[in-house]
Amino acid sequence: MERIGIIAKPHRQEAKEILDKLVPWLKENKKEVYIDIDTASLIGLSSPYPKPKIPSMVDMIIVLGGDGTLLSVARLINDNDVPIFGVNLGGMGFLTEVTREELYPTLEKIFSGDYIVHERLKLTTHIYRQGEKIAEYSAINDVAINKGALARIIDLEAFIDGKYLATYKADGLIVSTPTGSTAYSLSAGGPIIYPTIEALILNPICPHTLTNRPLVVPDNVKIEVTLASENEDVFLTMDGQVGFALKYRDMVQVKKSHRKIKLILSPDKDYFQVLREKLKWGERA
């Protein structure tokens, strides 16, 4: 871990305060520091790099922000095998589990080789219109099909490995990874799945019938969902950050990516501890 990238959530005072100390500290520890343009603007640092280039230049990336910032960085990784270390400046922070107070003790352990790397499933999404592929995206948490605010319940024809599953009548449908099981899918009534389990969740949003419940399937299946409602305002979103407007009979194909995301985790925490801290797991009201 000699070349360290840093990407921070823009316009955050907390990020500036950390950067003012972190960059000199890394250089004192003989590390090369690579910062993107937005992050460099927080502290007036010269010679920044375009954000998409940083993953190919470094041995690890420190993300200063919330889970949303980390997800946006994770989608930049592409075929680079660089791990991400998240420092929480946001709210919930399932992925950015390390606090500001834990930053330097954890970095010292990482640089001495005392750390854990979790490989997390990543999704690849293709959109087909009249049989032609028109767009491709990646996601770490989830891929969601949602109706617009004024649209009626929509019909979504779902197939798994070419076999008909169901026609969902609902406000939408979430395809979630285990990592994303504590995000949008959880708020829609989905199960929590341990992040390294090889599975996907299909979770209808406010289904018209109580018989449509969340479904857990193996992660090696191909999921295809066709919009079967005409004249409705429907969007596809990846990790709640990237959107695409769907049209009648568009088909969304979701499958496991051949690449995984690597997260550097603190050796002093475990997943169940994070659940207890973030969700108040097991506490009485």
- Tell me: the pLDDT tens digits for 43-80? 888 778 999 999 999 999 999 998 999 999 999 887 78
pTM score? 0.91
67 catalytic? Reply is: yes
CATH no. of 123-256? 2.60.200.30
The DSSP code sequence of 20-72 is HHHHHHHHHTT-EEEEBHHHHHHHT-SS-B-GGGGGGT-SEEEEEE-HHHHHH
pLDDT of 192 above 90: yes
Sorting pLDDT into bands at 50, 70 and 90, what band is 285? low
Residue of 36, 59, 67, 81 marked active site:
67
Q: Would you kindly state where each structural domain of the chain is located, as residue ranges?
A: 3-120+260-279, 123-256
Question: How does the average pLDDT of the chain come out, rounded?
Answer: 91
User: What tokens appear for 69 in the block?
Assistant: 């910032």
Question: Is the CATH number 3.40.50.300 carried by domain 3-120+260-279?
Answer: no
Angle between helix 13-28 and helix 103-111 axes, rounded to 10 deg? 30
- Tell me: the pLDDT tens digits for 251-260? 999 999 999 9
Q: What residue has token string 């502290």?
A: 43
Residue 202 pLDDT: 98
Same CATH topology for 3-120+260-279 and 123-256? Answer: no
pLDDT of 216 above 90: yes
End-to-end CA distance of the chain: 44
